[in-house]
Amino acid sequence: MTPRAGDEDFTEQDTWRVFRIMAEFIDGFEMMHEIERGVSVFGSARSQPGSQHYEMARTLGGLLVGAGFNVITGGGPGVMEGANRGAKEAGGTSIGLNIELPFEQKPNPYLTRLVSFRYFFVRKVMFVKYAQGAVIMPGGFGTMDEFNELITLVQTHRIEPMPVVLMGGDYWGGLVDWLKGTMLANGYVDADDLNLFHRTDDPEDAVAFIREHASPASGAIRHRGV
């Protein structure tokens, strides 16, 4: 049955939900299509200003802008705010891809461009499509999800190669040890797969690595076959 214009429940029907998803993709593409040389920075929303990880992200954001990159984050507080703050303070483009959550995540005040999303999977496409590199800082389940999906896309060649930096040695050390001692030991990943990301705690090293390995062409990160 075709929903009536005044039917508030029509978007709960799967067929019509597709149009909402399409609209969200179109809005995202239109808002982001001018972004070149973007670097996506992922990390916890719980880091406080003045903390080690917040200030590391703030320094990173400023250095990325100084190297000619635009900074893309999830737009929330914590590590995301730190990276956006550093970018804005350096006079660069500071982008937030915010997600609508039941427990509202308010955009941080250091954004020069804000794009809001209802669907996580649409938002993830924007993080990858408009980035030439990515930095994974300490975070929770969401950060883990973003890291795993990004590394999987690179490993399976679903996107062009891109530099991925894992920052926070003490935080991620146990995970890397597990990847080596369990995944690699069981033959579920290859030794080369552990080279898909670069580990460092130095923001200057992170930016240098991204500069060295990022594609020189703007907008070079594309889903293969799309």
3-class secondary-structure state, position 98: strand
Q: pLDDT, tens digit, for every residue of 122-147?
A: 999 999 999 999 999 999 999 999 99
pLDDT at 220: 44
Residue, of 99 and 41, whose pLDDT is higher: 41
Q: Indicate the Cα dihedral angle 127, 30, 34, 90, nearest 10°.
A: -60
Q: Which of 9-18, 24-33, 54-63 has the lowest mean pLDDT?
A: 9-18
pLDDT at 215: 76
**Relative orientation angle of helices 52-66 and 203-213, to the nearest 10 degrees:** 40
Q: Which of 5-19, 137-151, 154-168, 206-220 has the lowest mean pLDDT?
A: 5-19
Q: pLDDT, tens digit, for every residue of 199-216?
A: 999 999 999 999 999 976
pLDDT at 1: 39
Which pLDDT band holds residue 226 (cuts at 50, 70, 90)?
Answer: very low
Q: Which of 30-34, 82-86, 102-106, 184-188 has the lowest mean pLDDT?
A: 102-106
Per domain, the residue ranges of the chain are 16-213
pLDDT at 14: 79
Give mean pLDDT, residues 174-197: 97
Q: Is the pLDDT of residue 218 over 60?
A: no
What residue type is assigned to position 58 of the chain? R
Determine how β-strand 133-136 pairs with β-strand 113-117: unpaired
Cα gap 205→202, rounded to integer Å? 5
Cα gap 226→215, rounded to integer Å? 18
Report CA 47 to chain centroid distance, whole Å. Answer: 17
Q: Is the pLDDT of residue 8 over 80?
A: no
Percent of the chain at pLDDT above 70? 89
Query: What architecture does CATH give domain 16-213?
Result: 3-Layer(aba) Sandwich (3.40)
**Which DSSP symbol is given to 48?**
P
8 A C-beta contact, residue 124 and residue 99: no
For the whole model, what pTM was predicted? 0.88
Residue listed under structure tokens 């991620």? 172
Q: pLDDT, tens digit, for every residue of 74-122?
A: 999 999 999 999 999 999 999 999 988 776 578 999 999 999 999 999 9
Cα gap 129→30, rounded to integer Å? 13
pLDDT at 12: 63
DSSP structure string for 138-160: S--HHHHHHHHHHHHHHHTTSB-
Give mean pLDDT, residues 43-65: 97
Of the candidates 125, 109, 154, 112, the residue with the CA atom closest to the CA atom of residue 40 = 125
Across the chain, what does the average pLDDT equal? 90
